[in-house]
């Protein structure tokens, strides 16, 4: 019997050129911006993956000659990627990419800046849709600020009409034969603003489709800083241990004199357990039981400081540093206030966070519940984490 179920839609096939031969002078850094890390992978990899997912084949990546190694590493394993030598200007880099497609002669080509990592599929769909009736299609956004025309003497002149102006992004979509011929015969400024301008000069009709703020081009050093700041996480943890006679009472790595102590597999430091779970929560890496199973005899009577130290090390490996800790200990007795500063100092010594960033609070539950009856102590913690590597 014929299979009548809907097959998943096949992606439309088209070629793509990703220009990545620039030096990224405005962004600075040890290597050109397109090969720097951006949200966990090389910046260029984001858009090349999006193009591959959208069905682009081949994807020609245009490179400066000394960056081939960087590009090979950054794009390892993505199907359809080929490298082409870039030119002195962006226009020349695009022209080289188009030349390299001659044999294949695709019907449609998308030209994209490697410096725009976030490439939504919806934009690709709009561009390809508009190409059926036009020689080219480009994503644009309205101008939100009012505009002024700057004169050479630094004063304002003329009248700028915001309503008819648009901000232009990439990718830009073209019928291959037309954009190839336009670039080949380009006799304008050595660095054409973009490919649509090259085609427009030849009289090609270019559709304006809705762009996307996410397509923003990474240009300046601050763009990397802002991105790093954006990588901020929080985690929370909660723990309870039973108060019993004949046990020591440890809170935040400090032994506190009391007629009862906390029972548990390790030293039962409920406060450090809550902080440890908050750190693990912030990096999405399980909980204290995942890393230190209570069934494992090696953790019997263990100092809980090592659990927290290990969680902070895992956060570091994941690329995050602790920003601050806010801990609340919930018990009727003992009084926490007199021990607060030694507890903050103990946590600070454990993980190298300044005491200003370690808050230790305590509350009772008004004699209500298990903490109110002195049967146990509860602790909850919240931590902030921020990315340490751009």
What are the residues binding ligand CTP (CB under 6 A)? 19-27, 32, 34, 62, 86-90, 93, 113-115, 217, 219
Q: Which does 134 bind (CB under 5 to 8 A by kind): Mg ion, ligand CTP, none?
A: none
Least distance in Å: CB of 12 to ligand CTP?
A: 24
Of 27 and 74, CB closest to ligand CTP = 27
Q: How many CB atoms lie within 10 A of CB 317?
A: 10
Q: Which does 88 bind (CB under 5 to 8 A by kind): ligand CTP, Mg ion, none?
A: ligand CTP
Least distance in Å: CB of 64 to ligand CTP?
A: 7
Q: What is the DSSP letter of 193?
A: S
Residues forming the site for Mg ion (CB under 5 A):
22
Of 115 and 240, CB closest to Mg ion = 115
Neighbour-count burial of 90, counting CB atoms closer than 10 A to its CB (0-12 exposed, 13-18 middle, 19+ buried): buried
- Nearest residue relative to ligand CTP (C-beta): 22
B/e letters for 229-266, b = 16+ CB within 10 Å, e = fewer, are eebebebebbbbbbbeeebebbbbbbebebebbbebbb
Q: Which does 97 bind (CB under 5 to 8 A by kind): Mg ion, ligand CTP, none?
A: none
Residue at token pair 């427009």 = 200
Q: Which does 127 bind (CB under 5 to 8 A by kind): Mg ion, ligand CTP, none?
A: none
Q: Which does 21 bind (CB under 5 to 8 A by kind): ligand CTP, Mg ion, none?
A: ligand CTP
Residues 246/293, Cβ–Cβ less than 8 Å: no
Q: Which does 62 bind (CB under 5 to 8 A by kind): ligand CTP, Mg ion, none?
A: ligand CTP
Residues 371/330, Cβ–Cβ less than 8 Å: yes
Q: Which does 19 bind (CB under 5 to 8 A by kind): ligand CTP, Mg ion, none?
A: ligand CTP
CA distances from 338 to 1, 240, 360, 377 (A): 79, 22, 12, 17
Q: Which of 91, 322, 314, 101 is nearest to 197 (CA)?
A: 91
Least distance in Å: CB of 209 to ligand CTP?
A: 20
Q: Which does 237 bind (CB under 5 to 8 A by kind): Mg ion, ligand CTP, none?
A: none
Of 89 and 359, CB closest to ligand CTP = 89
List alpha helices for the chain, DSSP H: 43-53, 68-74, 90-99, 121-131, 176-184, 195-201, 221-230, 270-282, 288-291, 305-317, 340-351, 369-372
Give the separation between CA 388 and CA 390, rounded to whole angstroms.
7
Least distance in Å: CB of 190 to ligand CTP?
A: 10
Of 54 and 114, CB closest to ligand CTP = 114
Least distance in Å: CB of 136 to ligand CTP?
A: 18
Of 112 and 241, CB closest to Mg ion = 112
Least distance in Å: CB of 115 to ligand CTP?
A: 4
Residue at token pair 């040890």 = 30
Give the separation between CA 194 and CA 172, rounded to whole angstroms.
9
CA 195, 200, 203, 205 torsion-angle sign:
positive
Of 87 and 282, CB closest to ligand CTP = 87
Least distance in Å: CB of 160 to ligand CTP?
A: 24
Q: Which of 326, 333, 328 is nearest to 376 (CA)?
A: 333
Least distance in Å: CB of 19 to Mg ion?
A: 10
Q: Which two tokens stand for residue 33?
A: 């911006």
Of 41 and 300, CB closest to ligand CTP = 41
- Nearest residue relative to Mg ion (C-beta): 22
Least distance in Å: CB of 15 to ligand CTP?
A: 16
B/e letters for 50-72, b = 16+ CB within 10 Å, e = fewer, are bbbebbbbbbbbbbbeebeebbe
Backbone φ and ψ for 80, nearest 5 degrees, come out as 90, 0
Of 169 and 276, CB closest to ligand CTP = 169
Q: Which does 202 bind (CB under 5 to 8 A by kind): Mg ion, ligand CTP, none?
A: none
Of 33 and 273, CB closest to ligand CTP = 33
């Amino acid at each position: 019997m014929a299979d009548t179920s809907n097959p998943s839609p096949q992606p439309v096939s088209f070629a793509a050129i990703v220009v990545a031969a620039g030096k990224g002078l405005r962004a600075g850094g040890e290597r050109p911006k397109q090969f720097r890390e951006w949200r966990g992978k090389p910046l260029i990899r984001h858009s090349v993956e999006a193009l591959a997912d959208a069905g682009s084949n081949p994807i020609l990546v245009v490179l400066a000659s000394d960056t081939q190694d960087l590009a090979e590493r950054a794009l390892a394993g993505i199907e359809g990627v080929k490298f082409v030598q870039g030119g002195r200007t962006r226009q020349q880099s695009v022209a080289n990419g188009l030349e390299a497609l001659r044999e294949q002669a695709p019907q449609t080509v998308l030209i994209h800046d490697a410096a725009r990592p976030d490439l939504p599929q919806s934009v690709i769909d709009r561009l390809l849709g508009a190409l059926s009736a036009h020689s080219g299609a480009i994503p644009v956004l309205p101008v939100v600020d009012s505009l002024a025309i700057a004169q050479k003497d630094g004063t304002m002149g003329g009248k700028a009409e915001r309503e008819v102006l648009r901000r232009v992004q990439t990718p830009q979509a073209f019928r291959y034969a037309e954009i190839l011929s336009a670039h080949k015969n380009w006799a304008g400024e050595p660095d054409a603003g973009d490919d649509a301008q090259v085609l427009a000069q030849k009289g090609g009709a270019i559709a304006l489709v809705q762009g996307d703020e996410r397509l923003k081009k990474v240009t300046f050093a601050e763009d990397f800083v802002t991105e790093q700041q954006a990588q901020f996480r929080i985690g929370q943890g909660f723990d309870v241990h039973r108060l019993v006679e004949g046990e020591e009472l440890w809170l935040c790595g400090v032994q506190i004199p009391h007629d009862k102590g906390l029972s548990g597999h390790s030293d039962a430091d409920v406060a450090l357990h809550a902080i440890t779970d908050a750190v693990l929560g912030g990096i999405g890496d399980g909980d204290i039981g995942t890393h230190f199973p209570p069934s494992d005899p090696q953790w019997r009577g263990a100092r809980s400081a090592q659990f927290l130290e290990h969680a902070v090390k895992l956060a570091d490996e994941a690329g995050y540093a602790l920003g601050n800790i806010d801990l609340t200990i919930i018990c009727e007795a003992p009084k926490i206030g007199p021990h607060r500063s030694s507890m903050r100092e103990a946590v600070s010594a454990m993980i190298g966070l300044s005491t200003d960033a370690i808050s230790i609070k305590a509350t009772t539950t008004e004699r209500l519940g298990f903490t109110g009856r002195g049967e146990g102590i509860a602790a909850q913690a919240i931590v902030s984490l921020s990315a340490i590597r751009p």
